[in-house]
A and B are shown apart, each in its own frame.
Chain A
Amino acid sequence: QKEVEQDPGPLSVPEGAIVSLNCTYSNSAFQYFMWYRQYSRKGPELLMYTYSSGNKEDGRFTAQVDKSSKYISLFIRDSQPSDSATYLCAMKEAGGTSYGKLTFGQGTILTVHP
Chain B
Amino acid sequence: DTGVSQNPRHKITKRGQNVTFRCDPISEHNRLYWYRQTLGQGPEFLTYFQNEAQLEKSRLLSDRFSAERPKGSFSTLEIQRTEQGDSAMYLCASSSRDIQYFGAGTRLSVL
Q: Which A residues are within 8 Å of any B CB, using their own CB?
A: 4, 6, 8, 32, 36, 41-46, 49, 88, 90, 97, 99-107
Contacts and interface: CB of A to CB of B under 8 A. Distances in A.
A44 B104 CA distance: 8
A49 B48 CA distance: 21
B28 interface: no
B102 A104 contact: no
25 contacts: A8-B40, A32-B98, A41-B104, A42-B104, A43-B102, A43-B105, A44-B43, A45-B102, A46-B99, A46-B101, A88-B43, A99-B31, A99-B55, A99-B56, A100-B48, A100-B95, A101-B56, A102-B35, A102-B45, A102-B100, A104-B42, A105-B42, A106-B40, A106-B41, A107-B40
B74 interface: no
A42 B45 CA distance: 17
A101 B48 contact: yes
Nearest to B101: A46
B41 A100 contact: no
Given A49-B98, A100-B31, A100-B48, 20 more contacts: A6-B42, A8-B40, A42-B104, A43-B103, A43-B104, A43-B105, A44-B91, A44-B102, A46-B99, A46-B101, A99-B55, A100-B33, A101-B33, A101-B45, A101-B48, A102-B100, A104-B42, A106-B42, A107-B41, A107-B42
Contacts, number: 61
A99 B48 contact: yes
B104 A104 contact: no
Interface of B: 4, 6, 31, 33, 35, 40-45, 48, 50, 55-56, 91, 93, 95, 98-105, 107
B15 to A, nearest CB: 24
A102 B43 contact: yes
